[in-house]
Amino acid sequence: MNYIRKNQSLFLILLFIFILGFSPVKDTDFGWHYRCGKQIISGNTPCLKNTFSYYLSNYQAYYSSFLSDLSITSIYDYGGKFIGLSIFGSVLFVISAIFFIFTFPQISIFISTFAFTLIFWLSSGVLDLGIRAQNFTFTFFIIFLYLLTKLDNKNRSKLILFPLLFFVWVNTHIGFFIGFVPLGLLFLQKLIERKNQIKVFLILTTSFLATLINPFGIKIYWEIYRHAATPLNTLIAEWVPPNLYMKVLILTSSIFVIMLLRSSIKKKLFIILILLFTTILALSARRNVPLFWTVAFYCFLQTPFSLRHFTKKLDEKFLAIFNSILITAILVIGAINIPKTIAFDISWSDYCSKGLYGYPCQAIKDYPQIYGNVFATYEWGGFLIWQKPKIKVFVDGRMPAWKGEDN
């Protein structure tokens, strides 16, 4: 009976996360991701060269997002248009939640769920824009953290999962490189401890080699350098620092977690360094805020305080109360999220006027024969690439780090 009740709780948790993450598709880069995926499905050359813009027309980018492009296009064309993509986005969050929850087997499942909910809520404005390539990195990063907690497991067959993850990651989103910082820090700690350093070195090496299995090979690291060397905070809204309120919250949370870890600082040095790294990332760009909160709660749930007060005993003691809260949250959030998302996803008018930016839908309707080079804003680039495949735009979401003779 207790087993059945726990399974019911897990079902309620996953249903709650699904509804929480059910968001309308508002990403301005959807259009060019769709076109790139369409080229793959059609059997044509994937987006290895710039064929969408007339500015920097001969520019060679080394951005590998083929798996996310293929997923987005396939689901849009064959899986229910934007509603299908919203469902797919929710499924990604459910997968993320599963790995996050099972990263902490000693912690109450309800506490882990609450922590994941806070990650989502504190990352609003980044994670609630519907499915986008960046969401894959969020999911893969959580899977990566889950695998890190299993490193001391004697089952060596699981080591192959690291390079497999990085192989999929590198061909899905350029954010894959974020995983190498924790691996590097872990290797340094293992060297100091003189324990499992060979195992971590093998993981680091095989994972790096796995990232070279992409259409651009090692040149993909040149693309990462280009992004790092470009002041993206002066070009793109999501690369600007978070507001003052969020900065204060990030700093105080980071200090609070480090204070909780001070009694075991030598053993936990690795996760403290990861926390400091993601703190710097989050303070520099709001798009990195989800990574910070993920790591912050990853560290918090490993503190002596959490291991002492948030044990599985809470699940047994307050199971009925927790389930009641979950059911209430499902009903309330579902009553808001589901109709709102469906209404937006099926309304072309809402998509054109109520997204992040208004799109020139009326213009493309009034001028159906438009072709050639079209000067338009950065935010319109992806939309026009999708809606008017015969034109070439000035700029689009692929191009913030591109360099030409005049920039």
Give the pLDDT of the chain (407 residues) as one tens digit per residue.
455 566 788 899 999 999 999 999 998 889 989 999 998 898 777 788 888 888 877 777 888 889 999 999 999 999 989 999 999 999 999 999 999 999 998 899 999 999 999 999 999 888 888 888 889 999 999 999 999 988 876 767 678 899 999 999 999 999 999 999 999 999 988 888 888 888 899 999 999 999 999 988 999 998 888 878 777 776 777 788 999 999 999 999 999 999 998 877 777 788 899 999 999 999 999 999 999 999 999 999 988 888 888 888 888 888 889 989 999 999 999 999 999 999 999 999 999 998 888 898 888 888 888 888 888 888 888 889 899 888 888 887 777 767 764 55
Residue that is last in its domain, among 251, 285, 311 = 311
Q: How many CA atoms lie within 13 A of 207 on its CB side?
A: 23
Residue that is last in its domain, among 174, 201, 229 = 229
| Dihedral sign computed on CA atoms, order 261, 262, 267, 270 | positive
- In angstroms, rounded to a whole number, what is the distance separating the alpha carbons of residues 15 and 113? 12
- In angstroms, rounded to a whole number, what is the distance separating the alpha carbons of residues 323 and 335? 18
The reply to whether 261 and 323 lie within a common domain is no
Count of other CB atoms within 10 angstroms of residue 276: 14
* Residue 48 belongs to a domain: yes
The reply to whether 82 and 185 lie within a common domain is no
Give the length of the chain.
Answer: 407
The reply to whether 360 and 249 lie within a common domain is no
- In angstroms, rounded to a whole number, what is the distance separating the alpha carbons of residues 381 and 273? 39
The reply to whether 262 and 340 lie within a common domain is no
The reply to whether 203 and 246 lie within a common domain is no
Count of other CB atoms within 10 angstroms of residue 349: 9
The reply to whether 219 and 159 lie within a common domain is yes
- Domain hosting 221: range is 150-229
* Residue 406 belongs to a domain: no
Contacts of 160 (CB under 8 A, 6+ apart): none
The reply to whether 267 and 294 lie within a common domain is yes
Based on the number of CB atoms within 10 Å of its own CB, is 48 exposed (0-12), middle (13-18) or buried (19 or more)?
middle
Based on the number of CB atoms within 10 Å of its own CB, is 241 exposed (0-12), middle (13-18) or buried (19 or more)?
middle
Residue written as token pair 């109709």: 339
What was the pLDDT predicted at 1? Answer: 40
The reply to whether 138 and 21 lie within a common domain is yes
* Residue 65 belongs to a domain: yes
* Residue 365 belongs to a domain: yes
The reply to whether 287 and 338 lie within a common domain is no
- Residue 281 contacts residue 288 (beta carbons within 8 Å): yes
- In angstroms, rounded to a whole number, what is the distance separating the alpha carbons of residues 58 and 50? 7
* Residue 402 belongs to a domain: no
The reply to whether 39 and 123 lie within a common domain is yes
As for how many domains the chain has, the answer is 3
Residue that is last in its domain, among 279, 311, 343 = 311
The reply to whether 56 and 96 lie within a common domain is yes
Contacts of 133 (CB under 8 A, 6+ apart): 29, 33, 65, 68, 172, 173
* Residue 82 belongs to a domain: yes
* Residue 405 belongs to a domain: no
Count of other CB atoms within 10 angstroms of residue 361: 15
The reply to whether 43 and 117 lie within a common domain is yes
* Residue 404 belongs to a domain: no
